[in-house]
Amino acid sequence: MQIVISPYPTLHQVSTPVNFFMPPVGNDWSQFEKDYLHLMVAGHGLGMAANQIGITQRFFGIGHESFDEFKKPVILYNPRVTKTSEEVEIDREGCLSFPGVWYNVYRPVEVEVEWQNMKGEMQGTKLKGYEGRCFQHELDHLNGITFDYKAEENNQ
Ligand SMILES: [Zn+2]
């Protein structure tokens, strides 16, 4: 498992739903999650999408101690946004597939989201601030959209 750097084909592919019959890598789902999140945290990522390690399935890791909901890194499967605030704000984003690159991106301030856990159980919450931004950045990845497409201004 390793992080791919842009340009790379899977970064621009639309990912397909996770089916839960078998883990995306190997045959031990807990071990897969451990390895995946270890890679994300080792890279100092607040999030990491599956296509950033070359897998075009709909899941990503997210987590940081400063977050309200995902204080510890977790993997969210088949995530989606069900509602967005009209209010948007601009902030600086980085990406594990764009080392040393930062872009200012406008995003809705609040999002209501849903996802499934490893067992396929539905979960949901409301996210705001940088945590909501992170979720939206990762969800874009699953739709083949990297943050440079949305950049207002290049801060590198
Ligand atoms: Zn990214």
Tell me the CATH number at 103. 3.90.45.10
Domain assignment of residue 51, yes or no: yes
Distance 145 CA to ligand 1 centre (A): 9
Domain assignment of residue 117, yes or no: yes
When computed from its CA atoms, the radius of gyration of the chain, rounded to whole angstroms, is: 15
Distance 49 CA to ligand 1 centre (A): 7
- Residues 6 or more apart in contact with residue 49 via CB below 8 angstroms: 15, 59, 60, 138, 141, 142
Residue 29: DSSP 8-state: H
65 is catalytic: no
pLDDT at 47 over 90: yes
Q: What is the domain extent for residue 87?
A: 9-154
Domain assignment of residue 4, yes or no: no
Domain assignment of residue 3, yes or no: no
Which of 65, 87, 138, 153 is labelled catalytic? 138
pLDDT at 154 over 70: no
Domain assignment of residue 2, yes or no: no
Looking up tokens 């999408």, which residue turns up?
A: 49
- Residues 6 or more apart in contact with residue 28 via CB below 8 angstroms: none
Distance 50 CA to ligand 1 centre (A): 10
Confidence band of 152 (pLDDT split at 50, 70, 90): confident
pTM score over 0.75: yes
Domain count, the chain: 1
Distance 97 CA to ligand 1 centre (A): 6
